[in-house]
Amino acid sequence: MKMTDALKGGAAALVLVATAACGAPDAAKPETEMASQAALPEITITDAELEGNPFRAEWTGPYGAPPFSQISDEHFMPAVKKGIVEMRAEIDAIISNKEKPTFENTILALELSGNSLTRVIRVFSNITNTDTNDTLRALEGEIYPMLTREQDAVTFNPALYARVKAVYDQRDRLGLDEQEARLLELTHRNFVRSGAALPADVQAEIASLNAEISSLTTQYGQNLQNANNAYKLEITDPARLGGLTEDFKNAIKVEGQQKWAVGLSRSFFEGFMSSAEDRELRSQLFDGYRTVASSGEYDNGPLAIKLAQLRAKRAELMGYPSHAHYVLEQRMAHTPEAAIEFLQKVLEPGLARAEEERADMEQIAGHEILGHDWWFYSEKVRADRYAFDENQLRPYFQLDATFDGAFEVASRLFNISIEEVDVEGWNPVARSYDVKDAKTGEHLGLFMVDMYARDSKRGGAWMSTYQASSDINGERIRPIITNNMNLVTPAEGRPTLLSPTEVETLFHEFGHGLHGLLTQIRYPSFSGVYGGPDYVEFPSQVMEHWWSQPQVLAMYARHYETGEVIPQQLVDRMNKASTFNQGFKTTEFIAASLIDLHWHMLSSEEAAKITSARDFELEVLRKYNIPEIIEPRYRSTYFSHIFAGGYSAGYYSYLWAEILDADGFDAFLQSGDIFNPEIAAKLKKWVFESGGLRETDELYRNFRGSDPGIEPLLRNRGFGEPSPAEG
């Protein structure tokens, strides 16, 4: 998942994708720092420019949802400018307050600042991910650097930081409750880690770096989307479509022409690579995928190098050896060296298993297996060894029924109800659901989903927020949470049938959604989805465990035509094959994680010497003996998680979180009840409801009672002995 939560709380918590600054506890000189405030350009906006702007009106629709049909591209910039003007005034009011700094007049006031700007940016960041166009892409290039500049102005305001620090220094005497104390702690921490305590000249240099990083990450993401849209593998001879299902062929058929075209969406890519019998076509698509955005006008190689250099320089200014050291300081791994040590523990059995998998495939193929052969022949081995073909399962995983299954699991675990409601969405395919407490009927949040791929939508699957939860001064606001996927749109009149991987992804993103929906935290800065990726992925990944449990499959996995429940024999074969191809999957993931970490472990001096992104990543892969036949899941030119998202130095976190989710689900397995109410209540309280109330390792221990071990992770990947509970 790549979260696109552009703003978490007030001005002090304004978090822009890939623009977080670093911090160190050195003393600052307020009289010189004031120059950075004076340097802000004046922004003027007239009433005429705002006339009819829906962002300046009260939203009276159900659940506080944005009035999407009333919002046009031209509304964003005026609303952003007005929001900035208002936020500046709110910050000035805090600073000019003649009363001594208190929690209410400084910390809470800061949390409440910037609300009108937040409302605009949440809509803008979501729409540019799902329904972008040339106008919106141009606006991204203007708006995000503006926001970075405003964030730095808040962070580097000496008078504001002095007030925050004054409140923080007397924290033990204020009588704050737990959530108030946590807001104070995190507000102060965010200022320090963003550079508020640094000398003015260092702050100025960091602000310049932040602005450039913001611009480059936007450009990287746009390049990738443009490059993806520009590529199509065209097929004109129907004889070359052998192996593809009729639904897949219908999905890639060019309307009105005797031609088929396959793009680079992961769902299309893996579907084609797994099924297409034409080896030459598989090779062409494979090359198109792994070389996307690596040459021509959309070449992201130079941008990856430049971003690594800028991040390394920024870390150096903050007194850290590297960007990775800065980022991981606040993560569960704490250091990049510890993250790499963990990855190597899993890589070793993964490589050994991958070599076995390769030998099995070559025995069936009768020739050397190359990179573009792996998906196709792994399916042949699966069918041979387990008498199992994933396409046998698709008829049992219809999209609506799968959502019903996910909703039923959440209902049983967390005592909630989920009912579809009629709420206007940003796109006609978006659907909405009212999530309530099943006992009290209290509205907990609005859940909206957008499942289908289109050219205006970025690739992948993710959760994001249109409205954050808060409960300040008696004003209870519940969240609006979205899930997005990129499923193949079926032919007219045909159902949307999912592969097991897509079912797992749906449950994964729904886990993120529940993390945002169930929150009971008062302050937006740490409500809902909070924490580094190594923890944030735990609530989503633990939900993945339920979809394939026989008890759960019986709830929703029914043949879309006959209504027949998925046969137990097929379930048994699926479960026996669940660890199949894990050598490949483990290796491709860890390869990408190591590339990410090594990009961001570079010192400023080392980064300056890099001239080729491809040469750099090849050097990393050779260092860990990763075979050329297994491509990293992402090369540097299309690694949007780390170069256009919030996962720089953190892609390894998905695997780290697997320690937590495997260990966490073990609690249910060991109890003999996958819906054990006592364990589920702890999971709900300490994980899904608690946001960032406490440090993430403490939250996990409160749920589980102990720290997790790596053994369940290795076992789930087929690298260890099965537990007695699993048989």
Q: If you ran DSSP here, which 8-state letter would residue 423 be given?
A: -
Q: Determine the residue type at 176.
A: L
The three-state secondary structure class of 531 is coil
The helix or strand, by DSSP H or E, that contains position 260, with its residue range, turns out to be strand 260-262
Residue with token string 């009433």: 47
Cα separation, 128 vs 123, in Å, equals 9
| Residue 503, C-beta contacts closer than 8 angstroms, at least 6 positions apart | 397, 402, 547, 548
SS (H, E, C) 13-36: HCCCCCCCCCCCCCCCCHHHHHHH
Cα separation, 665 vs 723, in Å, equals 12
* CB-count exposure of residue 447 (10 Å: 0-12, 13-18, 19+): buried
- Token pair in block for residue 201: 């000249």
Cα separation, 170 vs 474, in Å, equals 26
Neighbours of 525 (CB within 10 A): 27
CA 287 to chain centre: 26
Cα separation, 722 vs 280, in Å, equals 40
Q: Among the options 90, 150, 502, 509, which is catalytic?
A: 509
- Token pair in block for residue 484: 């997005």
Alpha carbon separation from 381 to 273, 356, 368, 690 (Å, rounded): 15, 12, 15, 44
Secondary-structure percent of the chain, ordered helix, strand, coil, rounded to 5: 60, 5, 35
Alpha carbon separation from 137 to 125, 385, 462 (Å, rounded): 11, 48, 20
First CA to last CA across the chain, in angstroms? Answer: 31
Phi, psi of 433 (to 5 degrees): -140, 135
329 labelled catalytic: no
Closest Cα to residue 117, out of 216, 40, 9, 218? 9
Cβ atoms 396, 558 nearer than 8 A: yes
| Residue 245, C-beta contacts closer than 8 angstroms, at least 6 positions apart | 275, 391, 394
Runs of H (alpha helix) within 70-157: 73-96, 109-112, 115-130, 134-155
Neighbours of 280 (CB within 10 A): 10
- Token pair in block for residue 525: 């800065």
Handedness of CA 490, 580, 623, 324 (dihedral sign): positive
* Longest CA pairwise span in the chain (Å): 82
Cross-strand pairs, 541: none
Cα separation, 431 vs 399, in Å, equals 12
Closest Cα to residue 631, out of 203, 146, 288, 280? 288
Cα separation, 665 vs 546, in Å, equals 9
Which residue numbers are catalytic?
509
